[in-house]
């Protein structure tokens, strides 16, 4: 999938830049070697020249599983402008759009002495520097010279960009959030072109028109695969008619993926994610890219998509639970979704009847356990465990979300009852 | 007095619905007996039943019950929406309609 769009991209003469290239070469030496070998074969086969940047991306695919937690350090971003509110205003806009508190604004009133501004900015840089340096975005005049002066005073690397605008700040912040180095952040801002974040821009458009329910497709380079996946899904699964939109995402790695998903989730109801990278989040249905392209899976996939609409049903039951049962309905629905998605990810298809029945049944059971009242007993529940060991294990695993949320233990007999409902035994 | 019996897997969620139906019946001044049971203990409760209602999650058992009890009384599945919303009023209406005494 990725290689196909790479070849397309190379043929059309478009370049792609891999900012992590040097890093990848160093850290994932072996993966890079393997990717390089593949490169030769592709070059021979398609008579094209594959740039090293592409090789880097392929290497990233190869090493995804081993991805280690990076150090949680970011480049600091400061916006400094003349006027009473311009800088803080831009900083605020950027922070809110990104859902992060990363950009710091400094307003320099026209009558403020440069010395005072320099002192204040020095303090700000000291405060926000986390060891990776600080990018200073300024409008004009003396502010443009402050970077070097701050460096002299503090030894902290500061790079300065002039003629600041909101898109530049956004791009800087976005890069910084991805834990890019100061150089990378700086380059990204300076070379800001309309091409940057094409997919990201699509998202902004989407945000206005999008349906509430979305499926997210994501790929590591974001230049094509995610969009292709989107087109494929919409066409094959008739998502438009179902009122489900697809958001293509460009991601750098698993952490970046999770962060972006969190942001989307603030506004949208994410039903499923389709990607080569599993975000490992129980609240989404995860569909791997390879699963999509195996034609034989399309039926199963359709089933999954149909079942997704039930997540809405689950949400709609919140009030009923609240009115009729003495348990925390917010927490209950929250854990029920995880329970439901776990079953779905394991290939269990639940119809609406059963889902509704389960929501009420399990809520009743939890209420009884919390009040230390007896649960209805099932005869010979041991036999069921013996006859359906795999099914039982799955249920056991899925109910842990309730057990953890409510700090209770759901007895085996009750798990058998749930299993009977789930599998219509 | 007419007797309505609800059945689901464990008899737990239907008993919740029964409470709401009883309330609805009382408000309307209708004298009716409403009870809930599990699929396992249904035999103990089935006597003198005028209508048997199934929770939607055990819809698949409808045929089994039909075979077992024949045409002695109506056997129907509760509408999933009414069930999900625990709508005692509507389910009571449904039951009374089936008994043919509204």
A341-374 residue pLDDT tens: 889 888 788 888 889 999 999 999 999 999 988 8
- The pLDDT, as a whole number, for residue A294 is 66
Vertex A155: Cα angle to A153 and A156 (nearest 5): 110
Range A76-190 classified under CATH 3.40.50.510: yes
3-state secondary structure at position B50: coil
- Please give the share of chain A, as a percent, with pLDDT higher than 70: 89
Residues in chain B with CB shorter than 8 Å from the CB of A421 are 9, 57-58
Cβ contacts of A302 within 8 Å, gap of 6 or more = A237
Please, what is the average pLDDT of chain A?
82
DSSP-derived secondary structure letter, A321? H
DSSP-derived secondary structure letter, A66? G
* Torsion (CA) A260, A103, A174, A244 in degrees, nearest 10: 40
What angle separates helix A2-11 from helix A225-237, to the nearest 10 degrees?
120
Q: Where do the domains of chain A lie?
A: 2-66, 76-190, 198-301, 317-423
Q: Which residue bears the tokens 């034989």?
A: A296
For chain B positions 79-98, those within 8 Å of chain A (CB to CB) are 80, 83-86
* From B4, B8, B78, B91, active-site residue: B8
Task: Identify whether the C-beta of residue A322 lies closer than 8 Å to the C-beta of residue B23.
Answer: no
Asked if the Cβ–Cβ distance from B20 to A324 is below 8 Å, we say yes
Query: C-alpha B51: how far from its chain's center?
Result: 7
> What tokens appear for A173 in the block?
């912040």
For chain A positions 347-386, those within 8 Å of chain B (CB to CB) are 352-354, 356-361, 363-365, 368, 375-376, 378-379
Local confidence band at A201 (pLDDT 50, 70, 90 cut-offs)? very low
Fold agreement between A76-190 and A317-423: no
- List the single range of A288-292, A421-425, B7-11 with lowest mean pLDDT: A288-292
pLDDT, mean of residues A16-36: 78
CA distances for A172 relative to A102, A120, A222, A386, B31, angstroms: 10, 22, 18, 58, 72
> What tokens appear for B12 in the block?
């737990």
CA distance B84 to chain A (A): 6
> What tokens appear for A188 in the block?
């990204």
CA distance B37 to chain A (A): 10
- The pLDDT, as a whole number, for residue A302 is 75
Sheet strand arrangement including A244-250? A244-250, A213-219, A269-275, A285-288
Query: Which architecture, in CATH terms, is A317-423?
Result: Orthogonal Bundle (1.10)
Phi-psi region of B80 (alpha: psi -120 to 50; beta: other; left: phi over 0): alpha
pLDDT, mean of residues A3-8: 79
Largest interatomic CA distance in chain A: 85
Task: Identify whether the C-beta of residue B50 lies closer than 8 Å to the C-beta of residue B4.
Answer: yes
- The pLDDT, as a whole number, for residue B79 is 93
Minimum CA–CA partner of B86 in chain A? A320
Domains of chain B, first to last: 2-99 (3.40.50.2300)
pLDDT digits (tens, 9 = 90+) for A299-309: 766 777 777 77
3-state secondary structure at position A105: strand
What angle separates helix A329-345 from helix A352-370, to the nearest 10 degrees?
130
pLDDT digits (tens, 9 = 90+) for A80-132: 999 999 999 999 999 999 888 999 999 999 999 888 998 999 999 999 998 88
Distance CA A308, CA A300 (A): 12
Asked if the Cβ–Cβ distance from A360 to B86 is below 8 Å, we say yes
Phi, psi of B2 (to 5 degrees): -70, 150
Distance CA B66, CA A20 (A): 67
For residue B61, indicate whether it is catalytic: no
Asked if the Cβ–Cβ distance from A359 to B84 is below 8 Å, we say yes
- The pLDDT, as a whole number, for residue A67 is 44
Kindly report the CATH number that applies to the domain delimited by A198-301.
Answer: 3.40.50
pLDDT, mean of residues A210-222: 71
Q: Is B16 part of the contact surface with chain A (CB cutoff 8 Å)? A: yes
Q: Which residue bears the tokens 């002039």?
A: A162
Residues in chain A with CB shorter than 8 Å from the CB of B56 are 352-354, 356-357
pLDDT, mean of residues A378-389: 89
Asked if the Cβ–Cβ distance from B80 to A420 is below 8 Å, we say no
Distance CA B13, CA A360 (A): 6
Query: Which architecture, in CATH terms, is A2-66?
Result: Orthogonal Bundle (1.10)
A34 pLDDT more than 80: yes
- The pLDDT, as a whole number, for residue A3 is 79
> What tokens appear for A334 in the block?
């929250």
Which helix (H) or strand (E) segment is A235 a member of? helix A225-237
- Taking residue A412's Cβ as centre, other Cβ atoms within 10 Å add up to 17
Query: C-alpha A80: how far from its chain's center?
Result: 31
pLDDT digits (tens, 9 = 90+) for A66-80: 444 445 689 999 999
Cβ contacts of A363 within 8 Å, gap of 6 or more = A321, A325, A327, A332, B13
Q: Is B30 part of the contact surface with chain A (CB cutoff 8 Å)? A: no
């Amino acid at each position: 999938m990725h290689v196909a769009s790479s070849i397309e991209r190379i043929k059309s003469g478009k370049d792609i830049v891999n900012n992590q290239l040097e890093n990848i070469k160093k850290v994932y030496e072996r993966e890079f070697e393997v990717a390089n070998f593949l490169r030769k074969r592709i070059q021979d086969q398609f008579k094209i020249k594959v740039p090293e940047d592409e090789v880097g991306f392929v290497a990233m695919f190869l090493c995804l599983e081993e991805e280690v937690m990076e150090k949680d350090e970011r480049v600091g971003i400061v916006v400094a402008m003349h006027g009473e509110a311009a800088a803080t205003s831009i900083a605020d806009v950027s922070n809110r759009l990104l859902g992060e508190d990363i950009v710091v604004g400094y307003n320099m009133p026209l009558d403020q002495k440069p010395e005072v501004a320099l002192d204040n900015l020095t303090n700000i840089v000291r405060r926000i520097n986390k060891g990776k340096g600080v990018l200073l975005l300024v409008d004009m005049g003396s502010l443009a010279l402050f970077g070097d002066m701050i460096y002299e005073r503090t030894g902290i690397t500061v790079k300065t960009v002039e003629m600041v605008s909101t898109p530049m700040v956004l791009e800087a912040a976005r890069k910084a959030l991805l834990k890019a180095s100061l150089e990378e952040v700086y380059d990204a801002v300076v070379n800001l072109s309309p091409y940057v974040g094409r997919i990201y821009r699509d998202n902004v458009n989407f945000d206005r028109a999008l349906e509430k329910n979305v499926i997210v497709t994501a790929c590591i380079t974001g230049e094509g695969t995610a969009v292709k996946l989107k087109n494929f899904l919409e066409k094959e699964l008739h998502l438009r008619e179902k009122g489900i939109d697809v958001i293509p995402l460009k991601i750098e790695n698993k952490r970046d993926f999770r962060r972006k998903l969190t942001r989307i989730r603030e506004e949208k109801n994410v039903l499923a994610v389709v990607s080569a990278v599993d975000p490992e989040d129980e609240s989404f249905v995860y569909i791997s890219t390879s699963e999509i392209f195996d034609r034989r899976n399309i039926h199963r996939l359709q089933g999954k998509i149909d079942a997704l609409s039930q997540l809405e049903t689950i949400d709609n039951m919140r009030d009923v639970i609240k009115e009729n049962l003495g348990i925390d309905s917010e927490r209950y629905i929250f854990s029920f979704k995880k329970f439901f998605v776990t079953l779905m990810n394991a290939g269990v298809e639940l119809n609406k009847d059963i889902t509704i029945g389960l929501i009420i049944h399990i809520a009743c059971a939890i209420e009884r356990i919390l009040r230390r009242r007896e649960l209805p007993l099932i005869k010979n529940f041991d036999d069921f465990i013996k006859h359906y060991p795999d099914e039982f294990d799955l249920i056991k695993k899925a109910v842990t979300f309730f057990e953890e949320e409510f700090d209770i233990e759901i007895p085996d007999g009750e798990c058998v009852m749930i299993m009977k409902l789930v599998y219509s035994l | 007095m007419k007797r309505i019996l609800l059945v689901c897997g464990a008899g737990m969620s239907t008993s919740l619905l029964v409470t709401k139906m009883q309330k609805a019946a009382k408000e309307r001044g209708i004298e009716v007996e409403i009870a809930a049971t599990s699929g396992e203990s249904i035999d103990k409760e089935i006597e003198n039943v005028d209508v048997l209602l199934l929770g939607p999650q055990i819809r698949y058992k409808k045929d089994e019950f039909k075979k077992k009890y024949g045409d002695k009384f109506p056997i129907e599945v509760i509408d999933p929406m009414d069930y999900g919303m625990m709508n005692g009023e509507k389910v009571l209406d449904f039951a009374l309609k089936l008994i043919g005494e509204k």
